[in-house]
Amino acid sequence: MKPLFILNGPNLNRLGRREPHIYGHTTLAEVEAMCRAAAGDRPVRFHQSNIEGEIINWVHEAIDDGAGIIINPAAFTFTSIAILDSLKMFPGPIIELHISNIHKREAIYHNSLVSKVATAVIAGLGAEGYATAVQAMARLITKAEAGAA
């Protein structure tokens, strides 16, 4: 079974330790455990980086080998044409995920580049949004695989 890639952008390694009124108290390690439980038998490649190029390299791995991508690009959401270009090459489903509701926040958080290529966007469900994304992704992968058959 092809793996599900769950990619996390800059500063999310600090999750649960800063600004809990926006991002909650759940740590990224707890998010990872939640995702693995929600994915069941499907292998999960869960990564976080503060470096744009590392995220792009994981998208390239997913292009070669992945069933789907869930990505919280954090601040790169609004700045990275390079991540956008890499995601354009991925043939499967992509879910863009944000812990907070970016549309309720300051204007700098409103214009997502990644949304232009995402199959779906989840924002504002807190850390539980990751489990919701994994469940939704299972259905998207089933549909994509049925379409490809």
- Show which residues are catalytic: 23, 98
State the Cα angle at 108 between 35 and 6, rounded to 5°.
15
Residue 75 binding ligand CA2, by CB under 6 A:
yes
User: Considering all CA atoms of the chain, what is the largest pairwise distance in Å, rounded to the nearest integer?
Assistant: 46
**How many Å apart are CA 39 and CA 95, to the nearest integer?**
14
Residue 31 binding ligand CA2, by CB under 6 A:
no
Joined tokens for residue 117: 């290529």
**How many Å apart are CA 136 and CA 141, to the nearest integer?**
9
If we measure between CA atoms, which residue out of 92, 96, 9 comes closest to residue 54?
A: 9
Nearer to ligand CA2, 117 or 144 (CB): 117
Residue 85 binding ligand CA2, by CB under 6 A:
no
CB under 6 A: which stretch of 18-26, 32-40, 47-55, 84-92 binds ligand CA2?
18-26
Q: Smallest distance, Å, CB 139 to ligand CA2?
A: 22
Joined tokens for residue 92: 């499967």
Residue 84 binding ligand CA2, by CB under 6 A:
no
Residue 36 binding ligand CA2, by CB under 6 A:
no
Question: Residues in the site for ligand CA2, rule: CB under 6 A?
Answer: 11-12, 14-15, 18-19, 23, 72, 74-75, 77, 98-100, 102, 109
